[in-house]
Structure 1
């Protein structure tokens, strides 16, 4: 019987009942915490009009860029499909939108897809593959390490059948074996999981405009219920056919000038945009435990449907209010905590007042002229991304939190007269401004689907996690940056990208960049390595191609560790490693502990006392020198092994044979240290004094040199065909050294052997 059972037996029935209730309450509290656990955003990838990555996205946002443009000629002939008269059949009255560039470019073999299959692959699938890969790398999650891992994939798209209809419908001769897998909505998420080899829940969803934020909602819930340990969420939208423009024109949903004039009196429909955004998600507790780079935290989630309204696609103000309150409650937040709302904000005369009405019901009471609620919409920059709209708004908030700024909202000239702006404590930021606040910054993002599905997500800025290095850890003076790609051209492009990134981010610790490049990336055959001391140094070396590059062989090369003997020592040897590398330091301290009974002066004081070091002279004694060399080389081997570098062969020279044997497992560390300490002591106290001279000659020539002193000097070692060491009585060695002083053809060195 356990101790707990014994104690329970001594309790009264009432006390046992109270104990059981307390246990159940603890279990219920744990379940509640799990159900509402915050979710960390640890990585992002994107392609938006005018922005191919999160850094470029922030530049677009903060500079207030209008990224709309006319239909690219490679898509379709805008003139033949355009007519300003909405009544003209088969015509669209809008000819500008937020288009992406080069959506026809794709490297299928990078993802294991044949060129033939790629011809029938929806460009939205291609875009998802690229952006997801970039998002994982941004999160420091090497895609190659996710095979068989329960990673959830949740993708939203409202243009899921457009490519299939544009390429196949009405032309059955174009149907191939790849038409289904290339065009099916299910394959958007399914292909991602297949290519990555993940085994978590995988769903593609279409709830119209709210698709990508619904995907994010489901990803967070999947993490909370522990269906997956990592989740990928986002959405994609491409305008690949002019017919979709005609459909929306006939609905009179679009703005003739192609701009979302959100909250403006001139709001007359929405502008369309393309894009893809992916966020990488983890439970906050796991992200903190794994030291992930937390960009922001998802605190609360809400989802519902409009139900009955005045029309199928007409928004419902009460439903919008309820979904935002859900998200606040789920995140244990109050309206007063919220400083910014990224509105759905499509820029319609009907939708904008309804959305502001819902915000009025929730936030007016808790805000004031001194503490206004800031409301904006990224749709004013590059249009409504439809199925990918929500993720674009969410990523905007994350970037704004990181930079502690709110970017400008465009196209607001005259506020919508159907909104009582004078009464509301709301502001629309027409210029970039600092994001001020006393507590953690909190913001919400809304996404309301034409299908009636509404979703709201509450975000909080990343927690301030203490990450203090050990007091004994010093920054490495230099770092190794390793990059790889599938071919030389891609490797050059990658090096150029890193060069630009390092140049524009000189304050980013180079150690972090190198760590992520090595650990958080998949490694390919074509590789380069650059050694640098700072981001600026690394950037310059990449610019000038001052690095080592090559292609790895398919076979594994053999690696040898060579351990040296006496003569290699120098003052402060290993000090930088001792101060900056915990593995090296721990191994060296372990050696120091074992050797304490054998050395009058401990290893640490022997090497690193001072400066100046009063114990340097002791290294001239073999009783100290040999165990010191053993300990340093053993610690260095442990450091290499901690980096994943293991020897196939070990070799040792003189005293180095003992360190080599220990690393090879011939004997343990304690036995090895006892051997080498005893060897050094015996050689110091029992051996006759002698001297050693290194000569840059072969054995035959060395015999000629020492011939006059044959009884006092002999060849000690033949290191190579042109490197010999002779040893003998100090007086005789001194005479040989003096005789060689005038000969330029022979190099010689008196070895510092006691």
Structure 2
């Protein structure tokens, strides 16, 4: 049998809500046994069932909105199903996966569940039977609901072999993984004690403990105490888990299932069958039983059951061996969780191997001498047992009342080297890498709730580097619509940011729900933005930027004869000379753009200002990197050979204000038209000085630019002539490219030598080009690509894209990796799904534990009397449960129907709406789904927001026909196109009524 890795766990057991709470309960020797809650039944009425047991707190809580389940369906669902859904979500998160990422995959679901109490309790009154009750009480749906809500298409089955159900489910899941039926599997079980009936059966069989507690292998053992429990594990083939870098709790080395056959009674255990299933499991695992350090036994605490099991365990694990095999049973802590018993034991064993310590067994101080444990090479643990270094092995047994036995062999996870700096405390003197921590939720309130949970969890860690923790959050906490993201270096900063965000009443300032995806435009800065050491901080912090800057450097070096990377990082003053400045700026622009695109930020359009057009052309696919590098080096060398004496000034005047001055100074020109009142002049220095004096006298702001030449003027003619002789390999841009030479979008004109020659001496038509770009792609975000902020200021002054958010991944000399991370975070908050992995160096790509998702506890579905009311079938047409719209409501229709979008914008479309058709639809939807009418707004979607399914649509059809008799009969096929939203259905029905009355 191949090895299977346990990579994720979630569970809730009596007194232990969550994996850590479960482990804490086991290690402190706690117990989750309490009196029967009044919510279940009055124990005084059923003394034969016992007055105590193990009960999960808040077993009635279910976040139905999260799973798009209507309140009526939630009330009709078996509580087993309601507990499994959030457990599955948390288990997948614990496995390092965003559950939504597995949608559409052949992920398998295998759930152990025994009995059918919910069906017996709810389906016995035939007058109240509904389709929702039918599906809600089906045991098979325990697995199918997970597959449906998570959109898994792999094997999905519920397993009922009585008390061995969940371990048999794990066995079947492992087999499905090994045969290739699925690559990921959820396996486990669930049990809820809904009624005293089975307890009464145990009592009549003489199997019930008087105090409701299981006391496995104890001299005081007197029977079974029933308990709740739910647990799931996420399984992967070991080689896949290792390849993915997953945290591995333990490895399933082999398992086996068999049956007692015809023995001394259908519900009596059989020693020889138990012995055979143990032998089979170890044979399949390729392991000698004497290597097993401990066994998590079935251990019900019945006299007969304990005796038979110990005889079988001793025969397989016992003499001869140097050290007795430790045995125990978690039923001493929890009680007998029946369909979840096997998974309770498996999770305990996996955690013991993970933490390398086996919890002590309750009641071990009163060992039953009749079990002859010492003679059989077995022992009960009176204190926790440390596991030695190296591989440790353990067994898990689970036996069903009807004779189906299961045994699993687990081993400790293989040791994998932990990369230095992957997490934990900060190395002295080291600078922590930047990461982006993400949290997502289904509503704004849920986001605040989960921000608080994450803050509390991170605050409990030692302060240290946060990059690995951030990466884990990107893998796990990014799949839901309301989003938060913050760039941080260490956990202290992270806790502060999380608490600040959680305290905000308006999450829009730091987190919210994007209603689309961002549309980005890249603006590439030109010459004049350079400075010694530009982007050095980013280069230090960001491996991805280092890689792409090295690519540019490699392309430039053969033509330049020097390394621009070394010049940039080293703070070389030669960066001001055109020979080096232009290749260096091109390298920075290229590397920044490639860094962003590698992170999943794909521009919808690009624009380059002067020299910036070269990197823009490469990003657009119009020039190759090698070709652009050659041209830029040539351009820089030609510029460097020009005579000095030229310069440029920026003015706050428009071309019309400057026309007279330029006419008086023939050598000067408008070199860049950046905006209506934003013009750059270029020419001889003495002429520029005279123009500066005159403009200052008129109160017009003037600023000299830090460039040594009169770019984009006739003085560039020699350089233009040199470029004109080049042979240029170019292609049509694959990304929309706004030409600042032409002041419009580039269509079919080639970026040949003639283009680049004209581009260096003609004016930069920035304002017109930006206007064309905005009109073409309607960007939501403008991102400046360059070593300092220049073009975003120009765009802001010109007002070309006033609604666009401005971002800069490296806005000046003080920039580090933090600004790049904030750019990605802002785009994630706006709806982008970045390629997060590229943000982190290999040493930060380790799996870190995160707090599980915190679901809403506001809605409860349990009490059977309440259930009878809420799960009652929707009222028929003859007897609606709530007042229908008057029969003549449609006669009040206006001559022109109102626009549904206006109703949607007005908020709830409930009882106070002045639209009678919408009012009737809202009431029908509320009745069928069990929603409060105020929640049924016009823009609510039937499937995604209201949790409707095909059965409910049929019921809705009957409801609207009853409430709107003038519409007449409407087929479901006619309704289907209108089921986009509540408002769309109302619009359809209004049209149908008008058409049938005309």
| Equivalence for 2:20 | 55
Pick aligned residue for 1:462 from 413, 429, 439: 413
Of 573, 588, 591 in structure 2, the residue corresponding to residue 632 of structure 1 is 588
Residue range with higher mean Cα deviation, 436-445 or 454-463 = 436-445
- TM-score, scaled relative to structure 2: 0.65
**1:236 equivalenced with 2:190 (yes/no):** yes
Distance 1:180 1:478 in 2: 52
Pair 394,655 (structure 1): closer, same or farther in 2 beyond 3 Å = same
1:580-626 CA deviation, whole Å, 9 max, x = no partner? 54543333222222212111212332233xxxx3x702212222222
- Corresponding residue for residue 449 of structure 1: 400
Equivalent in 434, 437, 450 of residue 478 of structure 1: 434
**In structure 2, what is the equivalent of residue 274 of structure 1?**
228
Task: Say whether residues 1:559 and 2:520 are aligned partners.
Answer: yes
Distance 1:267 1:629, change over 3 A: same
Q: Deviations over 1:21-52 (max 9, x none)?
A: xxxxxxxxxxxxxxx11011111121222222
Aligned equivalents of 1:647, 1:710: Cα separation in 2? 41
1:164-179 aligned within 5 A: 164-169=119-124, 171-179=125-133
Q: Which residue of 2 aligns with 1:141?
A: 97
Count of residues in correspondence between the two structures = 697
CA distance in 2, matches of 1:705, 1:392: 88
1:266-665 matches, cutoff 5 A: 266-365=220-319, 367-368=321-322, 371-433=323-385, 435-466=386-417, 468=419, 477-506=433-462, 510-521=466-477, 523-545=479-501, 548-575=509-536, 577-578=538-539, 581-608=542-569, 613=570, 616-665=572-621
Q: 1:216, CA displacement in angstroms?
A: 0.2
Equivalent residue, structure 1, for 2:106: 150
Q: Deviation at 1:224?
A: 0.9
1:450 deviates by 1.0
Change (3 A) 1:427 1:685: farther
Could you tell me how far apart the structure 2 residues matched to 1:374 and 1:747 are?
86
Are the counterparts in 2 of residues 376 and 429 from structure 1 also a CA contact under 8 Å?
A: yes
Which deviates more, 132-141 or 229-238? 132-141
Residues 703, 743 of structure 1: alpha-carbon distance in 2 compared, 3 angstrom cutoff: closer
TM-superposed CA distance for 1:702, in Å, is 8.8
Aligned: 1:262 with 2:227: no
Structure-1 separation of matches of 2:346 and 2:146: 22
Question: In 1, distance between residues paired with 2:86 and 2:420?
Answer: 35
**How far has the Cα of 1:101 moved from its partner?**
1.5
**What are the superposed Cα offsets for residues 621-662 of structure 1, whole Å, 9 maximum, x if unpaired?**
222222222222222222222222211111211211111121
Secondary structure of residue in 2 paired with 1:375:
strand
Counterpart of 2:157 in structure 1 is 203
Asked if structure 2 preserves the Cα contact closer than 8 Å seen for 1:149 and 1:199, the reply is: yes
Most deviating of 270-279 and 531-540: 531-540
2:166 pairs, out of 212, 217, 220, with: 212
Question: Is the 2:311–2:376 contact (alpha carbons within 8 Å) kept by the matching residues of 1?
Answer: no
The CA deviation string for residues 530-558 of structure 1, in whole angstroms up to 9 with x for no partner, is 22212232122111227853443434442
Whether the aligned pair in 2 keeps the contact of 1:149 and 1:198 (CA below 8 Å) is yes
Q: Provide structure 1 residue ranges, at least 5 long, that are not aligned to the other structure.
A: 1-35, 83-90
Contact 2:433/2:465 (<8 A) preserved: no
User: How far apart are residue 710 of structure 1 and its match?
Assistant: 5.0
Aligned equivalents of 1:259, 1:741: Cα separation in 2: 93
Rate the CA distance shift 1:730–1:253 in 2: closer, same or farther, 3 A: farther
Structure 2 distance, partners of 1:336, 1:728, is 91
Q: 1:310 to 1:731 in 2, by over 3 A?
A: same
Q: Which runs of 5+ in 2 are unaligned?
A: 423-429, 710-998
Judging changes above 3 Å, is the alpha-carbon distance between structure 1 residues 486 and 331 closer, same or farther for their aligned structure 2 residues? same
* Contact persistence 2:207–2:224 (CA under 8 A): yes
Residue 204 of structure 1 deviates from its aligned partner by 0.7
| Distance (whole Å) between structure 2 residues aligned to residue 536 and residue 211 of structure 1 | 45
Equivalent-residue separation in structure 1 for 2:174 and 2:191 (angstroms): 22
1:470, 1:60 → 2: CA distance?
Answer: 32
Say whether the 8 Å CA contact 1:296–1:460 is kept in structure 2: yes
The alpha carbon displacement at 1:744 in A equals 12
Q: Structure 1 residues 376, 715: CA separation in 2 closer, same or farther (over 3 Å shift)? A: same
Confirm or deny: 8 A CA contact 1:144 1:522 kept in the other structure. no
- Residues 234-288 of structure 1 show CA distances to partners (whole Å, capped at 9, x for unaligned) of 1000011222322222222221112121121001112221111111111111222
Q: C-alpha separation between the residues in 1 aligned to 2:242 and 2:535? A: 33
Q: Check conservation: 2:650, 2:680, Cα contact below 8 A.
A: yes
Residue pairs, 1:673-692, within 5 angstroms: 673-686=629-642, 688-692=644-648
Root-mean-square deviation (Å): 3.1
Q: Distance in 1 between matches of 2:635 and 2:288?
A: 73
1:728-747 correspondence runs (5 A): 728-730=683-685
Greater mean alpha carbon deviation, residues 712-721 or residues 736-745 = 736-745
Question: For each residue in 1:663-709, what CA deviation from the matched residue of structure 2 results, as whole angstroms up to 9, or x when unmatched?
Answer: 111222222222222211111113534334456x3448995998999
Change (3 A) 1:671 1:274: same
Give deviations 1:326-373, integer Å, cap 9, x for gaps.
Answer: 2212111122322121111111222222222222222233533xx442
Distance change in 2, residues 1:272/1:510 (3 Å): farther
> 2 CA distance for matches of 1:553 and 1:422?
65
Conserved in 2, the CA contact under 8 Å of 1:567 and 1:753? Answer: no
SS of equivalent to 2:529: coil
Distance in 1 (CA, whole Å) between partners of 2:20 and 2:69 is 29
Question: Would the aligned equivalents of 1:68 and 1:96 in 2 still touch at CA under 8 Å?
Answer: yes
- My pick for the range that moved more, 60-69 or 716-725, is 716-725
Cα 1:687–1:168 change in 2 (3 A) is farther
CA distance in 1, matches of 2:286, 2:102: 33
User: Matched residues in 1 for 2:656 and 2:357: separation?
Assistant: 77
Following superposition, the deviation at residue 423 of structure 1 comes to: 3.5
Length-normalised TM-score, structure 1: 0.86
Query: Aligned pair 1:81/2:46, yes or no?
Result: yes
Shift of residue 162, structure 1, vs aligned partner: 0.8
The Cα shift of 1:388 comes to 0.5
Q: Select 2:117's aligned residue among 157, 162, 174.
A: 162
CA pair 682-102 structure 1, distance change in 2 beyond 3 A: same
Task: For 1:508 and 1:387, locate their aligned partners in 2 and report how far apart those are by CA, in whole Å.
Answer: 42
Q: Give 1:519 deviation, angstroms.
A: 3.0
Find the partner of 1:71 among 16, 26, 36: 36
Preserved contact between residue 539 and residue 546 of structure 2 (Cα < 8 Å): yes
Q: Which moved more, 1:646-655 or 1:545-554?
A: 545-554
Could you say which residue in structure 2 is the equivalent of 1:29?
none
Which of 125, 134, 149 is equivalent to 1:180?
A: 134
What secondary structure is seen at the aligned counterpart in 2 of 1:592?
helix
Secondary structure, in 3 states, of the residue corresponding to 1:231? strand
Counterpart for residue 716 of structure 2: none
